[in-house]
Structure 1
Amino acid sequence: MKVVIDIPNDFTGDYIVDKFKDFFSRVIADIDCKGMCGRYEKEIAEMFLKAFDDSEEKIPCKCQYNSNSIDNEPCCKCNRKVSENNDTKNKVTSLEIIVRMIDNKPYYEIKYKKVGEDYYHVGYSSSNIDNVLKWRDECFELVDVKVTNADRIRNMSDEEMAERIASSPNFNCADYCDSFTQGCTFNCGKKGREIALKWLQSEAE
């Protein structure tokens, strides 16, 4: 099956700045990460994404990067996207290029996390790695955000948290064990870390 996209004139601007491509990239990311929808829905989204990518060169760009610039004409890629963010680069705490295969060809995307957010965005997509590298350099600013003790605790794994709890001088088995019947539960042969880990992974009441 081949998808052909006819973009109405009113939406040409949105098409040029990859808003439609970005939408389908997010759909596919949601399907992969959250188990949403199924294989056929993913295939449909990938077909649309590929159709946008295959036709991205068909719309002429008259920006400063193509040697035929027009005064005050925003770039149809990075500059337009950045201008939507108050003419500043996207400040991010995490930035990486990810790749997946579509029809046995690599497709590149930028995965990033904005300052103050605890979730990732995926966008700025292209089958041309040079485009993605350019957008990464021109559209993003990687900032070093100091990690607080609270941040460190929030990012702990269950095992790390259990170790932290069990190593406390105030650790009391009775607070975490559901079978505290005959004195100290260490009589059951379990260690404090095991008891704390089981409590952390049990359903909240």
Structure 2
Amino acid sequence: MQRLWPKWGLDIDGRRKIDLTDMFGNDKPVVLEIGFGMGEATAQMAATDPATNILAVDVHTPGQGNLLNLADRNSLSNIRVGNGDAIILLREMLRPDSLGGLRVYFPDPWPKKRHHKRRLIQPDFLTLAASRLKPGALLHCATDWEPYAEVMLEVLTAHPDFENTQPDGGFAPRPDFRPLTRFESQGLDKGHVVHDLLFHRVPHSAR
């Protein structure tokens, strides 16, 4: 962290707008990943798709350090690590239409009913996210908590700024670019069903 944070880290403080081209040193599309655990899947995706920059955000310090280490060890210059609240990043620090994609893999399902309001994938969040996504950008969610998956599908389907990539309007098969994570493998071993949701940001003219 001490060695690599000044080079590849971002403190999410809400005090300034970020120029993503300056941050990465190029104009490749930037995908925001919210919540990355220990970062193994993020590093794998960065390695297999060097034409895409990944801004990965989490609050878990050991995970941040591990992802920085993976990026450094594997010369993955297309990763930046953000520490803090992704909502503040989206609302205060990113410009409209600046993101080429958004990934939310295995967010906290907050299973108790009284905690459902803490879930990330809700209409207000989607409206905010849509304002920062370029038209046509891909929003990709994955969860192994089936009730949350159903809610995600319902909320995304109802949102005017997003359109399901699946002709049947349902869940998507896991795309090749999303690696199987350690967390996911553990869930599958327990008999959990993993659902992927792939939605495009609707072009402004189609809204």
Could you say which TM-score interval applies, normalised by the shorter chain? Answer: under 0.3
Which has the larger Rg? 1
Higher normalized contact order (CA 8 Å, seq sep 6+, divided by chain length): 2
TM-score (norm 2): 0.25
TM-score (norm 1): 0.25
| Structure having the larger proportion of residues in strand | 2
| Structure having the larger proportion of residues in helix | 1
